[in-house]
Amino acid sequence: MGLGVPGSFCFEWLCQSGHHKKGDWLGRPVGIPGSARGKKNPQHHPAAAGWNRHLWRGFYLSLIFSIILVFLAPSILSSGKWITFFENHQIGISNESLALIGILMGGGVTFLGGLLDDRHSLSPRRKMVWQVSGSLIAIAAGYRLDFYKVFWNHWSGEFLFAVPVTLLWMMFLINAFNLLDNMDGLSAGVAAITTTFFAIYAHWQGEYFLAAAMTCLIGSLLGFLRYNWNPSRIFMGDGGALLVGFLVAAFTCRCTYYRATPSSLLASLIGEEGVQARQGLLSILTPLVIMAVPIFDTTSVVFIRWRNGKPLMQGDTNHFSHRLVSLGLTQKNAVLVIYLVTIFTGLGALILQSASVKQAVLVFLQVLSVFAMIILLENRQRQVNAEGKGTVTCAGK
């Protein structure tokens, strides 16, 4: 599996880049958006679906190829070391392969909903139906957050806590990455960075096949990003953005963040199992820290819309990236700053697996300090803009 990770990444990169190069060449004579001569259109344009199909196709083909390769590996590998490795992990590989079918099905449903939205501009309620349907398929396939085991290691906790919280988490991330798709390369880049951290975390946890599956998505996103970088030749559209959000959300739910099994909340706080339980309680916060940027962007833009009395589902230019541009950054630099913030928070999240309470508090304080600094800069710029408008008004009188 050590060769499977870079192998699946390289296959995905070549597959994805080849799709877009061909699509760009085909688009030139007719001016399809994304071609060198095409005019850049808004997100809701039928032609956007042509490009996000490459993203969907590239990931699915590479994932299916990787699954087939893994099952054929024991018969084609001559090294006894690799054969022993696959024999030792045969059960886990089989279970993960079956669970990935849920990813393929749920992602297909979510992507189809986004594709229809790109073509026909569906209402928010209809889009939500497609997203919920895709998420429930993934949940049924075993993609569920296991945080409840920290407090209640009982089968009933799966239905009372895991399923509803997982559904809300997936719905949030699906729409968060869709909202992030407001500048060239932003959503794809943030998704690639966050998925990389989750792949590293899964590898550290011994979930090698899951980590390899994540590299299929990483390669797909980087291959897409080559042509989606400013100035972009291709566009993600709702179909691609919703699919990316679904895949990232599903993979976050599949990672194991907690292994200790206290029988009750009391056992998780005191006794010999208390230390393990408290560490487990800290490690389940890993996805929140890695996803700090999408969470910050979504919550802040929703708050701004609510404060201004605007519809929450109505698009605007109050996103994290737009606010950085208002500080004087170019769009490219704003996207790069968001990349760096995502990397910063992700690096801190990786130590939560074995961090003590004090170390975890330091990580959270670091993350909060970064966003507090950003908010202070944004507020200062808002004050400067308001003072400038007031000065202009007085002079006009």
160-170 tens-digit pLDDT: 778 899 999 99
The H-or-E segment that residue 122 falls in is: none
pTM: 0.81
The region of weakest confidence among 71-75, 116-120, 124-128, 243-247 is 71-75
Question: What is the distance between the alpha carbons of residues 239 and 29, in angstroms, rounded to a whole number?
Answer: 25
Coil, strand or helix at 304: helix
33 strand-pairing partners: 35
Task: Report the alpha-carbon angle 285-104-283, nearest 5.
Answer: 10
Residues for the chain: how many in total? 397
Helix axes 331-349, 357-396, angle to 10 degrees: 160
Residue type (1 letter), 383: Q
Non-local CB neighbours of 293 within 8 Å, separated by 6+ positions = 190, 194, 320, 338, 341, 342, 345
Output the pLDDT for position 17. 56
Output the pLDDT for position 178. 92
pLDDT band at 392 (very low <50, low <70, confident <90, very high): very low
Closest listed residue to residue 47, CA positions, set 197, 221, 233: 233
244-289 tens-digit pLDDT: 999 999 999 988 877 655 444 445 445 545 555 555 567 778 899 9
Provide the domain limits for residue 153. Answer: 4-396
312-365 tens-digit pLDDT: 777 778 889 999 998 889 999 999 999 999 999 999 888 887 777 788 888 899
- 75: how many CB neighbours lie within 10 A of its CB? 8
Closest listed residue to residue 244, CA positions, set 111, 147, 333, 125: 111
In degrees and rounded to multiples of 5, residue 205 shows phi and psi of: -85, 0
DSSP H helices in the chain: 4-27, 48-76, 80-88, 90-120, 124-140, 155-157, 163-180, 186-204, 208-228, 237-254, 265-269, 274-283, 286-290, 292-307, 320-326, 331-349, 357-396
The region of weakest confidence among 23-27, 176-180, 183-187, 297-301 is 23-27
Output the pLDDT for position 338. 96
Question: What is the distance between the alpha carbons of residues 346 and 192, in angstroms, rounded to a whole number?
Answer: 12
Question: What is the distance between the alpha carbons of residues 143 and 163, in angstroms, rounded to a whole number?
Answer: 9
Question: What is the distance between the alpha carbons of residues 331 and 325, in angstroms, rounded to a whole number?
Answer: 6
Question: What is the distance between the alpha carbons of residues 40 and 21, in angstroms, rounded to a whole number?
Answer: 17
In DSSP notation, 333-353 reads HHHHHHHHHHHHHHHHHGGGG
34-70 tens-digit pLDDT: 333 333 344 444 444 445 566 667 777 777 776 776 6
Output the pLDDT for position 73. 60
In degrees and rounded to multiples of 5, residue 320 shows phi and psi of: -50, -45
Closest listed residue to residue 323, CA positions, set 338, 310, 311, 308: 338
The total of structural domains in the chain comes to: 1
Question: What is the distance between the alpha carbons of residues 397 and 394, in angstroms, rounded to a whole number?
Answer: 5
Output the pLDDT for position 209. 82
The H-or-E segment that residue 181 falls in is: none
Closest listed residue to residue 364, CA positions, set 294, 286, 309: 286
Burial label, 347 (beta-carbon count in 10 A; 0-12, 13-18, 19+) = middle
Output the pLDDT for position 32. 33
